[in-house]
Amino acid sequence: MTATPVPAAASVMVVAAHPDDIESWCAGTLALCVEGGASIRLLLVTSGDKGGGADVDTSPTRIAMRREDEARRAADILGLTEVVFLRHADSEVEDTKDLRRQLVMWIRRWQPEVLFTHDPEHPWPPYLSHRDHRITGRATLDSVYPVARDPISFPEHRMAGLLPHLVGEVWLFCSDAPDTWVDIAAVFERKVEARLAHESQLQDAAALAQEWKMRAADTGKPAGLDCAEAFKRIRTASR
């Protein structure tokens, strides 16, 4: 196995459950996409309102506001074009028609060639992956295909000027069954910098950087890479 080039796409969309998810699993790849000229837009299903750590006296609303600010700072570091928050409750995401309607709406609005999201079928870590991750990934895949493509699904979107759209490829992160590895050595420090922007979720910056360096090395071993992110790729354009 060898390293795979990042998607050669002008428009990329990312759907993640929580404000610091992309930094953990795909920020290096996204930074490389930006360097290649891609416009990347991030849709966050929750604002991480239960991610207050030991500060249990802080209200979920205040936690969410802070984490949204942190997500915007991290997005600026990575060079993302836009961040949108759906504001579903943290740890309570459900695979509902309303969530799929929202996901389809943003897919049709942004018209991405490539979409990144959580792997719902083979999540990492096995058995103990976050429930929001699994549900977000499943709802997103169901929205990508076939719903966003089909003109009869959610006809109210067409009335709002949003046309059906088929995403060409989906890259699943946080996967226990990857088949694609990206060399992120050149942008690893930016990935860490983006994660450090999430100050409310940070305990020891030096320890985090060291741990992530070891994880990136371990992730890259199957492809002979010293610093990598891994994905499961799903092609949809031929369906």
Containing 12, the helix (H) or strand (E) segment is strand 11-16
Q: Write down the residue that tokens 């994905």 correspond to.
A: 231
- How large is the average pLDDT for residues 52-58? 64
The 10s digit of each residue's pLDDT in 108-147 is: 999 999 999 999 999 999 999 999 999 999 999 999 999 9
Q: Which pTM does this prediction carry?
A: 0.96
Q: Which residue would you say has higher pLDDT here, 105 or 3?
A: 105
Whole-angstrom distance, CA of residue 43 vs CA of residue 26: 14
Return the structure tokens found at 115.
């979409």
* Domain 11-235: assigned CATH number: 3.40.50.10320
| Model confidence pLDDT, tens digit, residues 156-199 | 999 899 999 999 999 999 999 999 999 999 999 999 999 999 99
Spell out the domain ranges in the chain: 11-235
